[in-house]
Amino acid sequence: MEKVRLGIIGIGNMGSGHAHNLIEGEVPEMELVAVADLKADRREWAKQNLPETVQIFEDGDSLIESHCCDAVLVAVPHYDHPRLVIKALENGIHAMCEKPAGVYTKQVREMNEAAAKSDKVFGMMFNQRTNHVYRKMKEIVAGGEYGKIKRVNWIITDWYRTQAYYNSGGWRATWAGEGGGVLLNQCPHNLDLLQWICGMPVKVHAFCHIGKWHDIEVEDDVTAYLEFEGGATGVFVTTTADAPGTNRFEITLEKAKLVCEDEKLTFYVLDENEREYCFTTTEGFKKPDGQYVTLETDGENLQHVGVLRAFAANILRGEPLVARGEEGINGLTLSNAMHLSSWLGRAVEIPFDEELFLEKLNELRANSKQKENVQEVTFDTAGTYGTKK
């Protein structure tokens, strides 16, 4: 195989962007051979804008069953991500999943189990992991030279959305259509990066405000307190209502502080470990000395193209993925924990009660504006899932 034949399931905003990159040759080892979409207008767009050689299907199931491709990229509404990935893997087709991995961890856990039984490649579209700034932050934290994490703060409020945005689709910002609001739609990359760089928190206490600034049924304003193993704490703040908004990610280490803001990374290094300084200095107010240090990165930020290039290289030669598909459950665990904490009005530990989360989610879905489309999710004793009206 010289090139990976790719099919894109879902040719909306994200899917069409991926298609454009492929037909422009941005992923040399991958060829677009098929697309699928439930909407007739998107299939017509594909007919008018994609090469004649690209097959067009009415749904992802038909595309997978045709076996016309070596791999698929799933870019459909959140609830269907796991189902289509599982079907692809079970049909001997490699799978790349758009974010988020799914809506609830129990569903995604089954997808991961299917991947474990398959010999096919499974990747997640965590394109922000290609950003040289975040890669440098991970390198510094993981290296351990500057001690353990003491505090993590991420204010990510530059997701501004108007009511017109939320009115643009009946499924949008509903429990039945998307399964959540700012946490599940805008923040999957941030939550993935937070756990990728800092590790997974062990406790979350969150306040998710439903329709605080917009006429919607899901959260548009969130403040969450995090506790990590070893004593580090954190705060995650997000909303779609702030203008101009802020994107500031701080990590305080025992011997340094990293700040990422406006795509710029600053690094302040102490002359000695603060934990040692605190208990050895004889002065009561003097801070430990330190200085700003210039960080060098490779400057690369390949985003979606980088993820797909790595996906093709893994299929063809076994080279590393940007993100393994099984890792998609981590950031989703954080958003699920935040939702559950807010619903219960108390802190929750990670891992949390997945059955309780699903029970609460199904209650919200049953009362959703899209309730006519709701399919309550049920599990049998073997852990496989089915649906019922």
CATH number of domain containing 221: 3.30.360.10
pLDDT in tens, 352-389: 999 999 999 999 999 998 754 444 443 332 233 233 32
Note whether 212 and 178 are same-domain residues.
yes
Residue 372: predicted pLDDT: 43
**Across the chain, what does the average pLDDT equal?**
94
Residue 386: predicted pLDDT: 35
Contact, 85 vs 60, CB < 8 A?
A: no
Whether pTM exceeds 0.85? yes
Residue 378: predicted pLDDT: 37
Closest Cα partner for 21 from 380, 308, 343, 371? 308
Q: What is the mean pLDDT of residues 162-175?
A: 90
Instruction: Write out the residue range of the structural domain in which residue 40 sits.
Output: 4-125+303-325
What CA–CA distance (Å, rounded) separates 316 from 310?
Answer: 10
Note whether 8 and 113 are same-domain residues.
yes
Residue 376: predicted pLDDT: 41
Note whether 285 and 156 are same-domain residues.
yes
In 10 A of CB 41, how many CB atoms? 8
Note whether 157 and 62 are same-domain residues.
no
Note whether 175 and 250 are same-domain residues.
yes
Percent of the chain clearing pLDDT 90 (strictly above): 92
Residue 369: predicted pLDDT: 85
Note whether 282 and 351 are same-domain residues.
yes
Q: Which residues contact 134 (CB under 8 A, 6 or more apart)?
A: 128, 193, 196, 197, 260
pLDDT exceeds cutoff 70 at 255 = yes
Residue 384: predicted pLDDT: 31
Least confident of 147-151, 238-242, 341-345, 373-377: 373-377
pLDDT in tens, 4-34: 999 999 999 999 999 999 999 999 999 999 9
Residue 379: predicted pLDDT: 32
Note whether 19 and 60 are same-domain residues.
yes
The residue from 290, 325, 360 where one domain ends is 325
Name which residue leads in pLDDT, 383 or 219. 219
Residue 170: predicted pLDDT: 76
Note whether 170 and 42 are same-domain residues.
no
Q: What is the mean pLDDT of residues 127-149?
A: 98
Q: Where residue 172 falls among pLDDT bands split at 50, 70, 90?
A: confident
Note whether 184 and 172 are same-domain residues.
yes
Percent of the chain clearing pLDDT 70 (strictly above): 95
CATH number of domain containing 320: 3.40.50.720
Query: Can you list the alpha helix ranges (DSSP code H) found in the chain?
Result: 13-23, 40-49, 60-66, 81-90, 105-117, 132-143, 163-167, 182-185, 188-198, 274-280, 303-317, 328-344, 354-366
pLDDT in tens, 311-335: 999 999 999 999 999 999 999 999 9
What single letter denotes the amino acid at residue 43? R
pLDDT exceeds cutoff 60 at 249 = yes
Note whether 156 and 247 are same-domain residues.
yes
Note whether 294 and 160 are same-domain residues.
yes
pLDDT exceeds cutoff 90 at 168 = no
- Whose tokens are 């598909």? That residue is 325
**What's the total number of domains in the chain?**
2
Contact, 129 vs 320, CB < 8 A?
A: no
Note whether 245 and 356 are same-domain residues.
yes
Half-sphere exposure of 336 (CA within 13 A, CB side): 28
